Amino acid sequence: MGSMNRTSSRELLVMLRRQDGPLHAQLEGQLRAAVRSGRLAAGERLPSSRALAAELGVSRGVVVEAYGQLAAEGYLAIRPGAAPHVAPGAAEASDHAPARPPAPLRYDLRPGTPDLSLFPRVAWAAAQRRALREVADADLGYPEPGGHPRLRRALGAYLGRVRGVQAAPERIVVCGGVAEAVALVGRVLRAGGARRLAVEDPSHPGTRELMAHSGLEIVPIPVDAAGIDVAAVAAAGVDAALVTPAHQSPTGVVLDPPRRAALVAWARATGGLIVEDDYDAEYRYDRHPVGALQGVAPDHVVHVHSVSKTLAPGLRLGWAALPARLVPAVVEEKRLSDLGGPVLEQLTLAAFLERGELDRHLRRTRPAYRRRRDALLAALAGLEVEGVAAGLHVLARLPPGATEEEVVAAAAARSVAVEALGPQVAGEPRSPALLLGYTRLGEVAIAEAGRRLRLALD
């Protein structure tokens, strides 16, 4: 029938075009849509495969393949010797079918990941080859739950040199990112009798959810320009506090020296535990990064971090530097969780650290991110912007009268993706603001994204 095949059957209204791709896929899609829309009701009979193929002028195999796929998905019921019919409940079930994800916006200013195009593939591949060449046969068996000793040694040396962390290798547990480190510590705290955990407000809801899932009661503590309110922590009667002192997530403020000292004093006086998420600590633009809190009180602080922001979150490599008393329980919790992490990935990171490749990577990315931050600040001139001294994102306050929902939608209409502050606030509402990352785009694209964002604000 040339390039267009059709059926005039009242129930089907199918039209196939040979130039539009595989015929069976076209037939599947049109019949599926007919069921979802209700044009083909539950129990309604369809032509036999032979009859429909003849009417459409296609091979019977096209119809058989389409009918078979739709039967496997639950849209059609097929019985030997009977005509196919629409399965009972097929239309209702289709209402819950996952929607096709929206097309990505052109300019992505959301925080959360580094520039993945800067991942040091050549250096990582060299470290991976070295790890494969040197790995002992015995190391390919079930791993040590706390992590391979070589990576723990490499991390101990690196963290001591770069972050001032005081942790012998045996006090470091390798985890699948910060998320797993926090979850393991949360479960150990709860099993040890802890009940209440102070968390910064605002803070990432996923982190709060992890700790709440451990059975701890979450107590939001306000954050201001100097960081978490330590007096409020002391007054809350909590057993532990989860903080991001190097670059508060999401406001970007750095915990100031008096409050750092006060938080450590609280932990020493009460026996409370500080869980330090060293968020964005490697990226500081006005001076050298502030040392880790753990270096001041290693027996009262759990230091957790990962390579998710320096290299890539897909590596799922992180760690926890622990007070000695917590190590056995956290290692056991890790064993019960997954028997330990992948060995070759751990040995690759160890080789990467030993050869100084992470230092070199940071020396390349810091100036690149600083230029992008400056491009974003120039594009946002006139807005109140906070958290610019460190990290990989800033917080931009919205002008009076603007709501986060309206601005996010208006920005999306101009193909700019931004993130609202509101979902990260657990306690008292805060003035509306946006969280804007500057790692995913180059300077020219950031300038254009900023221009479009200003139009959205206007």
- Alpha-carbon span 271 to 274, nearest angstrom: 10
Q: What is the pLDDT of residue 9?
A: 44
Domain topology for 120-355: Aspartate Aminotransferase; domain 2 (3.40.640)
Q: Where are the beta strands (DSSP E) in 28-157?
A: 76-77, 85-86, 107-108
Report the distance separating Cα 450 and Cα 63, nearest Å. Answer: 52
Q: Please tell me the predicted confidence (pLDDT) of residue 10.
A: 42
Q: What are phi and psi of 172, to 5 degrees?
A: -110, 130
Residue 406's H or E segment, with its range, is helix 404-413
Helix (H) or strand (E) holding 63: helix 60-72
Pairwise CA distance, residues 125 & 116, whole Å:
15
Structure tokens at 242: 């989860």
Query: What's the pLDDT score for residue 8?
Result: 42
3-state DSSP assignment of residue 164:
coil
Q: CB–CB of 424/410 below 8 Å?
A: no
Using alpha carbons, select from 255, 267, 280, 249 the residue that is nearest to residue 323: 267
Tens-place pLDDT, residues 268-281: 999 999 999 999 99
Instruction: Give the span between the Cα atoms of 440 and 115, in whole angstroms.
Output: 5
- Exposed/middle/buried for residue 71 (C-beta within 10 Å: 0-12, 13-18, 19+): middle
pLDDT, position 79? 79
Domain ranges (residues) in the chain: 4-94, 107-115+360-457, 120-355
From first to last of its 458 residues, the chain has per-residue pLDDT tens of: 334 554 444 446 787 877 677 888 889 888 988 888 888 888 888 988 888 888 888 888 888 888 888 887 889 888 777 788 898 877 665 555 555 556 688 999 999 999 999 999 999 999 999 999 999 999 999 999 999 999 999 999 999 999 999 999 999 999 999 999 999 999 999 999 999 999 999 999 999 999 999 999 999 999 999 999 999 999 999 999 999 999 999 999 999 999 999 999 999 999 999 999 999 999 998 877 789 999 999 999 999 999 999 999 999 999 999 999 999 999 999 999 999 999 999 999 999 999 999 999 999 999 999 999 999 999 999 999 999 999 999 999 999 999 999 999 999 999 999 999 999 999 888 899 999 999 999 999 999 999 999 999 98
Q: Give 107-115+360-457's CATH code, choosing from 3.90.1150.10, 3.40.50.1360, 2.60.40.10, 3.40.50.620.
A: 3.90.1150.10
pLDDT at residue 11 in the model: 47
- Tokens representing residue 276 in the block: 């330090």
The candidate with the shortest Cα–Cα distance to 297, out of 319, 317, 316, 269, is 269
- Please confirm whether the linkage preceding 145 is cis (ω < 30° from 0): no
For residues 415 and 345, the answer to whether their CB atoms sit within 8 Å is no
Burial 275-290 (b: 16+ CB within 10 A, else e): bbbbbbbbbbeeeebb
Q: Is 85 helix (H, G, I), strand (E, B) or coil?
A: strand
Strand partners, 440: none
pTM, 2 dp: 0.78
Length of the chain: 458
- The candidate with the shortest Cα–Cα distance to 390, out of 409, 370, 406, is 370
Domain 4-94 is found in CATH 3.30.420.40: no
CA distances from 321 to 45, 111, 249, 255, 378 (A): 65, 26, 20, 20, 39
Q: Which of 120, 77, 70 is nearest to 94 (CA)?
A: 70
